[in-house]
Amino acid sequence: MHALWLLIFTIAVGFTASGIIANLYRVCGWNTDSFTGRAVRAAVLVVAGPSVLFATAMRGRLAKTWHPISFWLAVAAIFYWSLVLGLIVLEAAVAL
């Protein structure tokens, strides 16, 4: 049972980090017309991806444009992506 809670906590840490980075990127308002802007956006989306993908999936599901299987496959990918991010964040926190 301890391992399950640790797994859930790690996923939550990764998804939280993703949301923080996504919102900071939106607040900063980078211009994506230049090569530098597109490169920064790509780098940010590596970390902010789960939050952005979940927002898109929820909008699609609520508008009934996404099939339920597509939605749940996206959620599974988001969980895995958040798990990896959470492991990286927790490893960095332990190293400090």
Give tens-digit pLDDT for 23-71: 988 888 777 788 888 888 888 889 999 999 999 999 999 999 999 999 9
If we measure between CA atoms, which residue out of 19, 40, 20, 45 comes closest to residue 30?
40
Dmax over Cα atoms in the chain, in whole Å?
Answer: 49
- Among residues 56, 51, 59, 57, the alpha carbon closest in space to that of 11 is found at 51
Query: What is the rounded distance in angstroms from the CA atom of residue 36 to the CA atom of residue 54?
Result: 26
Rounded Cα–Cα distance for residues 17 and 22 (Å): 9
Q: Where are the alpha helices (DSSP H) in the chain?
A: 2-28, 35-62, 68-95
pLDDT single digits (tens) 60-84: 999 999 999 999 999 999 999 999 9
pTM confidence score: 0.86
- Residue identified by tokens 């190293």 is 95
